[in-house]
Amino acid sequence: MKIRQNLHIHSSHSCDSACATIKDIQREMLDYGMTEFGLSDHVHSAFNLCDIASSRNDFDVYATSPCFHFGIEATCMAKWECDAIAAGNYKRQGDDPVYGLRYAELPMETPELMLGITEAEIQKYHIEYVIGGTHWPSIGTDDPEKLYEDNFQQMLFLIRHPLVDILAHPWYDIEHSIGGMHVHRPGAQRDREAFLHIPDRMNEQLGAELVKFGKCAEINISMFQDNRRPEEARRKYWRILEDWRDAGVRFTFGNDLHAAHSCKECLALMEQLLEAHGFREEHFKMLFE
Ligand SMILES: [Zn+2]
Ligand SMILES: [Zn+2]
């Protein structure tokens, strides 16, 4: 199958290490034959909303193709940390509040969740689509059972959120979380068997809710690029996606670009992998066609 869509692209305006220019993104995506592609710079808390403003300004100048769209990747945040950041009630301890108050006193149970952007701001910046992603636990524990449950609750929150169109990279952070990287860093390991222990009931419910709320699940290239992940864990991840597909979930594709340039070979390899796992173009939802 041919990948014609890439909705998950970070530009140099993203708050992290992303460094691609909007001009290069447009040229490379059109060269590859993408008919629908878009920016998705990060919004965590309102603290880094200024990044989206600058991304939008540049987009308005350099994005000239009708195939090029303006989206965001919004992180699932806790209400208490967003409130504290909005009130200026934080101390910088190495981490800017761009990433929330992750390493302060985290609760043991999933707190009230929210996005760091409002509907009015989405209209203000003419944001055409929202990818919602979990990037870290909202609880401070190394108990695997609680961490799976927390990641699951965050994903349910995103699927049910009226502003979210796409669930980003399902289970993205679970290997870090289960490995204890958010509690014991540095020195903690990534647990590359973490996919194997995701409870089936969670995946079944996530698939059912994606269908019920008409939301897309993202097939994100970064989820397939860890060569040290055991074969069995890779198979498990594919099986989750295949089960969702068979349950009627529609997908979007993203290469989660953070480098200066997209890797054409990686996209071509992904096309082969998708085909080998029974994915066809009709399983992907084109948002703008
Ligand atoms: Zn992400
Ligand atoms: Zn991303």
Residue 249, helix vs strand vs coil: coil
Q: Please choose, from the candidates 5, 27, 283, the residue with its C-alpha nearest in 3D space to the C-alpha of residue 131.
A: 5
Distance from Cα 10 to the centre of ligand 2, integer Å: 6
In a domain, 238, yes or no: yes
Rounded CA-CA distance 50/206 in Å is: 32
pLDDT for 129-182, tens place per residue? 999 999 999 999 999 999 999 999 999 999 999 999 999 999 999 999 999 888
Whether residue 256 lies inside any domain: the answer is yes
List the beta bridge partners of residue 133.
75
| Residue 92: band (very low, low, confident or very high) from pLDDT cuts 50, 70, 90 | low
Domains identified in the chain, total number: 1
- Tell me if 87 is assigned to some domain: yes
Residue 134 in any domain: the answer is: yes
How close is the Cα of 133 to the center of ligand 2, in Å? 8
DSSP classification of residue 197: G
Instruction: Share the mean pLDDT of the chain.
Output: 94
Q: Do 21 and 11 meet the contact criterion of CB atoms below 8 Å apart?
A: yes
Predicted pLDDT of residue 153: 98
Cα of 64 vs centre of ligand 1, distance in Å, is: 26
Q: Is a pLDDT exceeding 70 seen at residue 93?
A: no
CATH number, domain with residue 222: 3.20.20.140
Q: What is the pLDDT of residues 183-197, one digit of tens each?
A: 877 777 889 999 999
- For residue 289, being part of any structural domain is answered with no
The torsion angle over the Cα atoms of residues 39, 257, 174 and 106, rounded to 10 degrees, is -60
Kindly give the distance from the C-alpha atom of residue 11 to the centroid of ligand 2, in angstroms, as a whole number: 10
Ligand nearest to the CA of 254: 2
Q: Is residue 288 part of a domain?
A: no
pTM here? Answer: 0.96
Among 38, 26, 33, residue whose Cα is nearest residue 288: 38
CA dihedral 229, 231, 233, 237 (to 10 degrees): 100
- Residue 89 in domain: yes
Q: How much distance in Å is there from the Cα of 73 to the middle of ligand 1? A: 7
Report the pLDDT value the prediction gives residue 91, as an integer from 0 to 100: 74
**Cα 131 to middle of ligand 1, angstroms:** 9
Distance separating alpha carbons of residues 257 and 16, to the nearest angstrom = 11
Which residues, other chains included, contact 57 with Cβ-Cβ below 8 Å and sequence gap of 6+?
Answer: none
Domain span including residue 111: 5-283
> How many Å lie between the centroid of ligand 2 and the Cα of residue 8?
6
